[in-house]
Structure 1
């Protein structure tokens, strides 16, 4: 377990993908005596001491030795094992003493305590070999991916104990059957890495290698992921390489210098978030982040990383006024070091973990986010379509009377829908900070709110792109998400909310059952407009199909965004023949009016516009209907 010259060389050039196996706290045997070896990177420290409950937190008792001139310090502690609390007491060049948690620590205390905990990650027997093998062979772009975004601390809570967090085992017992029943393919967990402040939702990380103690031990989290995989559910986590908090025991000014962050505040601080920005140009810092990604995928079998705040990494002037940022060496606003880091990240993940996906939360028009690295792109598998989300929610929150004036909010997304591999998110960010819940955003009385909600979620399911729904949205929770309490599960006692939940279940199953909706959603050949320009009546419709030569049927998906029924509405059809209605958002089963009694319609062989056939439908109010050509 000792650190070799090769380890130090690779770390120094930023290419030691498993440096977490060397730095931090690791079981070791020296001269036949078992114990723990501690190592930390603090190149500008004058001294480093190990403190903990084993030496009564005496900051002079246990000195670490610098390895050559590497900036890495280490010490072996005999007869010390898992469960021991520790920190590093670092003496700066100015003689000040600072206590820091282990940047590579595998476990931390539950807040408000903040010491690192010696942990042994070995010894867990995984039972997901079949899942991992299948994952290596799947094609993510052509597979159905419907993500249920979960904040484990507030999905459900246990009010009979304090703190009220469910354990990973309790979450598995309750969350897995719920996700399976509703038909989601993956869950995305926010707040997994250790963070001191609950209200940050896990986006201000201090224990980058430590699953949060809120829900149990590292082995407990492994068992949770294992159980998800055995049930056929993939697990994504939110991963935060864009910034870190200023807390005194964290990475900020780690060895008395700006070690992990830029020294110049114009590049090293997010003023609006009150956080520090990683110095992506420093090899060891880039190595810290890349190896952290490898760690979660290797040690915890995570299936994908949703990379937070990518836009803030790509642009040096992000959320800054003129004069508050420094251009790159060419005078531009792009953060070239961060771009190189993201490319290295995605190449490394692809090299070690075939089938594992990376997803960029990226809100700008930066080109090539999902283009492979070897073709000049950033190399992500998917990108969150923030433009679609903003336009769609703007449209759906309008009174239907005014939607005719903003029809472009629906049609514009198709101008770029296939320029990247997109995920369509209705995430936690859209139901906090006064934005209201999805259901409460909708206009009208309760019936119309529910109908508009069904129209919104139906449009998400039918629009090309993978899907994401934040917890609570699937049953139409009325109030905004609150991270300090569980979801409003009592709402399901009301039939309206059960019906909205049934609607989400039906959409997930439609999406999974029909390759027309998922196997071609990143290719123009899988999509064709049926009705794009009827802004006056706020009707739009399109066809979804498989790629040429793959067979299957055609799905005709029609939306009426007003409460006015449209009888005898004529659309083009790809072929004459019989079409069956396979889903109706206005069905009484989902809380609708049951207006349209059509179940099967024959398209006649009469040309309509540029189609060889035409079909005549009765469109229900505020609803989506889906028709499949009968084979």
Structure 2
């Protein structure tokens, strides 16, 4: 590649804006190519390279009939393995160190066969610069917490029979445009307590299917010692969280979802890890630079956690092996990579991205970019249709371009500016001052070749300290006036805008759509995990599904609208049809109209102006019928629009002299209307 001209790098040819930094893009591409080539020479392929979980940790040797245990601890002085299998004798089983810093011990069946079994509890005793400490192996596949001492211990996890994946040939490509339901297994149940994988299968999967979503995004999968971290302070990267159940129960969840036609992607946290010494990777060999850069460079200054050193080969090997492990062992259909912005900048994204130089300054962690490129290559080498989503707010060029073109290789990016926009608008701008041009531009301001996951709110807005859109709109009135008999203008406004904001976002802001569980029906409670400040209560760490199922409450109206919205989006392939075509911008009446194909969307954001016989342009002449109105009684509206009325087009000459087809509608204030041209 270096012998070719810089201008031939495909990503630069596609986006001339990058030409001033073509050398930077080429350097990043060359780094990736060199790493990939070295891996190929050493291991044959990237997929073979990512097999660390077949070597480290506990591995059964059929020829020698016994267990090998291996751990990479180059800075350690002494290492011992112990557990219930040897009566917790801490210094009985010393490990030996090789020239690469890998410590190992062989445990023959003839000595330990009846004691070292599936479920045996194990730990390491590591002597390093930080003293003698009991530690959990890095590749351990299950970690459990003692009910009394609250200490965490690893388990040898080796069921006699492997999980039966026969018949699971699910392909995420079959779902079409992604409609993502973001879930947290622990707080998915209505009970006050921690939900399980089995309960999720029984009660939540049917809800997701009925709601019309086709993809589940599972949060908090990897083990994390603090429940309230939402799963983002991971301690054990190869262990599914035991507080929700066993690894086999998680596999059963994925398999059951697949039989229901639902894809399952994992919220993957490779941006940082927990600082805890007792549970995690921090100072595992006694040094502060095993998995992290040394000194303060290894600390995340904002998240109270540790950073990965992506430039170290053993760290890349660990993380890439982790990716393959989740894909192949649990059949996940892809990943949403958490904290990508934090990974790729040394300032972790705490700056304004207001110039091209910000993307190519010394503040960019190009080792992290290289790791992410290798990760995307590995994922798509293993499963070409697997989906990868980058949580990047910065807009790093090339994030969603193929690695072969000089990009990082993600399939999608999260449209993180959209929920920020809605929050700011609702907090700071009176309804009558909403600028429809600003709203349109915010939804459509993205590069055509950068696929975007649109969302108007996620779990972040549901946490204590923030507010969901529903609560921001209706506040405390949600606790008193969401019954259907109540009359409250605040609730009326909130219900109307809640529906409009969702439809506006899904129809304009991307090629996929995401919703956090419960937000679709306006869940009123914030998320507050058990902690000392709330008496370790689970009252707010759950989802009140019964609110949406109660026929006397208005939450069911919002849920019904969400289902109808998704049905419409699927039927007319709105997410897959590209940019919407803007037909009308009426700033005086805060009305805009746009189309996807021959499906026309009309939004009247004005709080008062309702206009009969309102003329809007349409993409083709013909007869148009109403397919969705947010004012329908079944969605909590007042039924002021007759869905049986058909609109016949007529020709009208515009001020520029052009003639195009129009239809007339009742342009109802604070409502959305969707029409489609009838075939005959």
Which residue matches 2:217?
A: 188
RMSD: 2.6
Counterpart among 461, 465, 475 of residue 511 in structure 2: 465
The TM-score, its normalising length taken from structure 1, stands at 0.88
Which residue matches 2:666?
A: 618
Looking at structure 2, the residues matched to 354 and 14 of structure 1 have their Cα atoms a distance apart, in angstroms, of 13
Counterpart among 557, 565, 577 of residue 520 in structure 1: 577
Looking at structure 2, the residues matched to 383 and 128 of structure 1 have their Cα atoms a distance apart, in angstroms, of 32
Counterpart among 560, 567, 573 of residue 502 in structure 1: 560
Which residue matches 1:542?
A: 594
Q: How does 1:406-445 map to 2 (within 5 A)?
A: 407-416=437-446, 418-425=448-455, 426-442=457-473, 445=490
Are 2:615 and 1:570 aligned?
yes
Which residue matches 1:153?
A: 186
Q: What CA deviation, in whole Å up to 9, does each residue of 1:388-444 have, x standing for no partner? A: 222233335566544335741432332325351000132101221322122111266
Counterpart among 375, 388, 404 of residue 405 in structure 2: 375
Q: How does 1:121-200 map to 2 (within 5 A)?
A: 123-131=162-170, 134-135=171-172, 138=173, 143-159=176-192, 164-200=193-229
Residues 614 and 7 (structure 1 numbering): CA distance in 2 closer, same or farther, change over 3 Å? closer
Are 2:140 and 1:105 aligned?
yes
Q: What CA deviation, in whole Å up to 9, does each residue of 1:452-488 have, x standing for no partner? A: 1011111122124311110110211122233433112
Shift of 1:602: 0.6
The 8 Å contact of residues 66 and 74 in structure 1, kept in 2 or not, is answered as yes
Which residue matches 2:243?
A: 214
Looking at structure 1, the residues matched to 444 and 558 of structure 2 have their Cα atoms a distance apart, in angstroms, of 27
SS of equivalent to 1:317:
coil
Looking at structure 2, the residues matched to 95 and 237 of structure 1 have their Cα atoms a distance apart, in angstroms, of 34
Residues 518 and 611 (structure 1 numbering): CA distance in 2 closer, same or farther, change over 3 Å? farther
Which residue matches 2:543?
A: 487
The 8 Å contact of residues 168 and 258 in structure 2, kept in 1 or not, is answered as no
The TM-score, its normalising length taken from structure 2, stands at 0.82
Counterpart among 283, 287, 301 of residue 271 in structure 1: 301
Shift of 1:290: 1.1
Which residue matches 1:57?
A: 88
Which residue matches 1:304?
A: 334
Looking at structure 1, the residues matched to 526 and 199 of structure 2 have their Cα atoms a distance apart, in angstroms, of 24
Which residue matches 2:532?
A: none
Shift of 1:333: 1.3
Shift of 1:561: 1.0
Q: What CA deviation, in whole Å up to 9, does each residue of 1:103-157 have, x standing for no partner? A: 11111103733111101266111144331xx44xx388xx221111111111105
Looking at structure 1, the residues matched to 41 and 107 of structure 2 have their Cα atoms a distance apart, in angstroms, of 21
Looking at structure 2, the residues matched to 110 and 613 of structure 1 have their Cα atoms a distance apart, in angstroms, of 68
Counterpart among 365, 374, 392 of residue 422 in structure 2: 392
Listed as ranges, the gaps of 5+ residues in structure 1 are: 1-5, 546-553
Which residue matches 1:120?
A: 158
Shift of 1:518: 2.6
Shift of 1:57: 2.5
The 8 Å contact of residues 192 and 202 in structure 1, kept in 2 or not, is answered as yes
Q: What CA deviation, in whole Å up to 9, does each residue of 1:177-208 have, x standing for no partner? A: 11111110011111111100001010010110
Listed as ranges, the gaps of 5+ residues in structure 2 are: 1-38, 475-488, 530-537
Counterpart among 303, 309, 314 of residue 284 in structure 1: 314
Which residue matches 2:10?
A: none
Looking at structure 2, the residues matched to 256 and 291 of structure 1 have their Cα atoms a distance apart, in angstroms, of 23
The 8 Å contact of residues 582 and 627 in structure 1, kept in 2 or not, is answered as yes
Shift of 1:569: 2.2
Looking at structure 1, the residues matched to 284 and 178 of structure 2 have their Cα atoms a distance apart, in angstroms, of 40
SS of equivalent to 2:206:
helix
